[in-house]
Amino acid sequence: FDTFSKSLIIIPINLGNSHWVCSAINLEKKRFEYYDSLGGPMERVYLTLRKYLEEEHLAKKKSPIDLSDWENYWDEDVPQQENSCDCGIFTCQFMETLSRDVEGFDFTQKEMPYLRNKMALEIHEERLIEEEGWVDLE
């Protein structure tokens, strides 16, 4: 698997065994991204992503990578959760939106019960649900 052939690497992160967030390494835009339904950016996540990419480049490309022009990106307008139990669903929705290369996040706390049920059904049925119907994963 060549990490550097991808434009975006999406990584879910569990903070302190109590909160899920979404991070991404955007190779196309040269930035480390952080999406949190409870608040602002965490420097340690950016540092961890940088370290991973440096080590991955050394292992795969056998040379150091220059990250001096890479930025740490945080979108302050991401949807925010209003309880203490929906961070996993928010994180999954952040990841799905990023994977589809869609601008902005079009969900709120109000949609969480529906999205939770939709995700459970998709897992059970082993396929994705689109507005038009089912999408086969084969």
Positions marked active-site: 19, 36, 87
135 has which bridge partners? 128
Alpha carbons 66 and 15: distance in angstroms, whole number: 27
Element (H, E) at 116: helix 112-125
87 has which bridge partners? none
Looking only at the bridges linking them, the beta strands covering 128-130 and 8-15 are unpaired
